[in-house]
A and B are shown apart, each in its own frame.
Chain A
Amino acid sequence: MKPLGNSNRPDREILERVAAGDRAALAELYTRDGAAAYRHALWILRRPADAEDVVQTVFVTLAVRGGELLGVRRPASYIAAMVHHEALALLRHPDRQADEGAELLLEAHSDAGLEVERLALGRALAKLDATQREVVFLRVHAGFTFREIGRMTGVSLFTVASRYRLVLIRLRRLLEGEDE
């Protein structure tokens, strides 16, 4: 895909062009939000091939959604909500293959100390369920607010905030070897 070349273009203008069938605008949207969508799907599904399928489904859906996109305020939240629904649907599919290694959730480091920490975090994250990992990703790596996460996942702000805190407590225990 060849993007339009102006990554500072306003969200509304990009969405209007995507809605009208402009493929270059779709490519620009992918350049801006595609990587986050892939990471989000990967953290839910823990399988790169499945994450790619989800991102492809999301962007093909965006290409045909048409006028509905004109009502979208923030593309990143809208795409994250689509990834959430697609990934959970795939996760529940009975023919889905097993998850892959825990180490693929975070990028490798050349620094030995950070690499040890990464592997420990990966193992701990792999023990969480998909929705627990998702809230960590959306908060820590995607930078969404609890309110935005609540809207895109269909739960209240308070549920998201308390879930996030409980997940961090559990991660801490897993990292200390208290919760196996």
Chain B
Amino acid sequence: MRRGEVDEVERQLRRHRPPTAPEALADRITAAVGALAAPATVAWSDRLWFSRAARLGWAAAVLLLLAAEIALAPGKAGPPRPEQPHALPAMVGLALDLRLDPSWSERLAAAETPAASGLAEIHAAVDAL
């Protein structure tokens, strides 16, 4: 079917109007609404929820929370934690086994990268085992 034929049906429909509502219907609705026990009310929570300012406020608060969460989260490139107490006893044992200076246990527990001289000391201790 060609588009023009469909358009012609639409034009025919537009030449006519559906009937109007009977005038008595408005009075009927007035009577029905008047018979209601109590008129509708708007709860403060609805006003708060549907108010544009309140919605913008909620959205801003959520964005701020997200920003704070991201800013405070520890990243991969963040500084190492100053101490790792849970690892310390194992490192003390390891330092003793390797006959290293006792200060090494704390440095290893803190994941401190040893200097070249320190690495040489560790390698020497391992080789001596």
Q: Do A and B interact?
A: yes
Chain A interface residues (CB < 8 Å from chain B) = 1, 16, 18-23, 26-27, 30, 34-35, 37-39, 42-43, 48, 51-52, 55-56, 59-60, 63-68, 70-71, 104-107, 109, 114, 117-118, 121, 136-137, 140-141, 165, 168-169, 171-172, 175
Given contacts A1-B26, A30-B26, A168-B6, contact A39 B18 (CB under 8 A): yes
14 more contacts with CB within 8 A, not counting A65-B40, A66-B46, A117-B15, are: A20-B39, A21-B41, A30-B26, A42-B19, A43-B18, A59-B29, A59-B32, A67-B43, A121-B12, A136-B13, A141-B17, A141-B18, A165-B6, A172-B8
On whether the beta carbons of B33 and A59 are closer than 8 Å, the reply is yes
Chain B interface residues (CB < 8 Å from chain A) = 1, 5-6, 8-10, 12-22, 25-30, 32-34, 36, 38-43, 45-47, 49-51
On whether the beta carbons of A105 and B29 are closer than 8 Å, the reply is no
**Chain A neighbourhood of B10, CB < 8 A:** 140, 168
Least CB separation from B13: chain A residue: A140
**Chain A neighbourhood of B22, CB < 8 A:** 48, 52
- How long is the Cα–Cα vector from A70 to B48 in the complex, in angstroms? 10
- How long is the Cα–Cα vector from A107 to B19 in the complex, in angstroms? 5
Determine which of B14, B25, B32, B40 lies in contact with A34 in the assembled complex, contact meaning CB atoms within 8 Å.
B25
Smallest CB separation, A54 vs chain B (Å):
11
Determine which of A38, A43, A55, A60 lies in contact with B36 in the assembled complex, contact meaning CB atoms within 8 Å.
A60
Instruction: Report whether over half of chain A's contact residues are helix, strand or loop; otherwise say mixed.
Output: helix
**Chain A neighbourhood of B12, CB < 8 A:** 117, 121, 175
On whether the beta carbons of A118 and B16 are closer than 8 Å, the reply is yes
On whether the beta carbons of A52 and B25 are closer than 8 Å, the reply is yes
**Chain B neighbourhood of A18, CB < 8 A:** 40
Least CB separation from A20: chain B residue: B42
**Chain A neighbourhood of B43, CB < 8 A:** 66-67
**Chain B neighbourhood of A16, CB < 8 A:** 42
